[in-house]
Amino acid sequence: MLGLLFTAFKKKRSLEETVLKIQQGDISLRNDTIESFKPFIAKTVSSVCKRYIYESDDEFSIGLIAFNEAIDKYSPEKGRSLLAFAETLVKRRVIDYIRSQSKQKEVLLDLSLNDDNEQSHIYIDNENSINEYEKQKESERRKEEILLYISHLEDFGLSFEDLVENSPKHADARKGAIMIAKLLMEDDELKEILFAKKRLPVKQLEGIVEVSRKTIERNRKYIIAVAIIINGDFLYLNDYIKGAIDE
């Protein structure tokens, strides 16, 4: 068992070292790394598209570009593995691509309209189909994002139910907790403590926020949950944070 854990640690460290060399300008290593992770890219893109993805598909190319972007932007200080970061980024870029394609289809359908009522009716049916398809895909993407988020919560011994149950009841209290989470993510030292030790640095936070230790402790689970969202670049869950601030 210890041997397996040691092997997994070596692989993670080796991958991080590889990324560092690539970021320093090793083009050959970049190409080799992207080539070796093509199955991972295809699997991630397929999970968004809900169908098998071939390397000839446009969606795969988008995933490839996103994985390359993840290599450039990855930083181990964020407390996440390269693959977890790349998975989030690939999914976001493919989602953006699908949305842009849907909009283009609506424009093309609109250009086919004339004064003929029958053709207008066909356009409306097609537009409704596209809208329904987009709603269905968005619902699926939300579910996938929530599942990914739950897995991050579990690293801290938290559950999605904890987030619901420990959400501050009043809007001002929620805004205050969110602002604490943002300050936490803006401080590299405190962020390192949170993700490395899997605990909220209450004592250190007490020195930089204008609320009592008791308030921080009371909202501990909620602050951690929001910090994970901010750090993970979750597309839909970030909308929840914005909505809470705008209340």
- Best mean pLDDT range from 13-27, 33-47, 136-150: 33-47
Q: How many angstroms separate the CA atoms of 88 and 96, rounded?
A: 12
**Half-sphere exposure of residue 92: CA atoms within 13 angstroms, side-chain side:** 18
Output the pLDDT for position 214: 92
Residue type, 129: S
Dihedral of the alpha carbons of 9, 70, 133, 50, in degrees to the nearest 10: -40
Alpha-helical (H) ranges within 156-219 are 160-165, 171-186, 188-197, 202-206, 213-218
Q: What is the pLDDT of residues 193-211, one digit of tens each?
A: 999 999 999 999 988 888 8
Environment class of 51 (CB within 10 Å of its CB; exposed 0-12, middle 13-18, buried 19+): exposed
Determine phi and psi for 74, rounding to 5 degrees.
-65, 140
Q: What is the pLDDT of residues 94-121, one digit of tens each?
A: 888 887 776 555 444 444 444 444 444 4
Output the pLDDT for position 124: 42
Q: How many angstroms separate the CA atoms of 89 and 102, rounded?
A: 20
Q: How many angstroms separate the CA atoms of 211 and 227, rounded?
A: 18
Q: How confident is the model at residue 230 (pLDDT cuts 50, 70, 90)?
A: confident
Output the pLDDT for position 132: 66
Dihedral of the alpha carbons of 227, 167, 176, 214, in degrees to the nearest 10: -100
Output the pLDDT for position 247: 53
Output the pLDDT for position 41: 93
Q: Helix 58-73 and helix 2-23: axis angle, to 10°? A: 90
Output the pLDDT for position 67: 94
Give the tokens for residue 160. 């999605």
Q: Helix 2-23 and helix 27-36: axis angle, to 10°? A: 140
Q: For residue 122, give every residue at least 6 positions away whose Cβ sits within 8 Å of its Cβ, in sequence order, or none.
A: none
Q: In the predicted model, what is the mean pLDDT of residues 174-185? A: 90
Q: What is the pLDDT of residues 26-84, one digit of tens each?
A: 888 889 889 999 999 999 998 888 888 888 888 999 999 999 999 988 887 766 788 88
Output the pLDDT for position 120: 41
Whole-number percent of the chain with pLDDT over 70: 77
Q: In the predicted model, what is the mean pLDDT of residues 181-191? A: 90
Give the tokens for residue 141. 């993407």
Is the pTM above the cut of 0.75? no
Is residue 170 scored above 90 in pLDDT? no
Give the tokens for residue 128. 């409704």
- Decide if 93 contacts 66 (C-beta within 8 A): yes
What is the residue-averaged pLDDT of the chain? 78
- Best mean pLDDT range from 68-72, 128-132, 228-232, 236-240: 68-72
Q: How many angstroms separate the CA atoms of 232 and 235, rounded?
A: 9
- Decide if 77 contacts 192 (C-beta within 8 A): yes
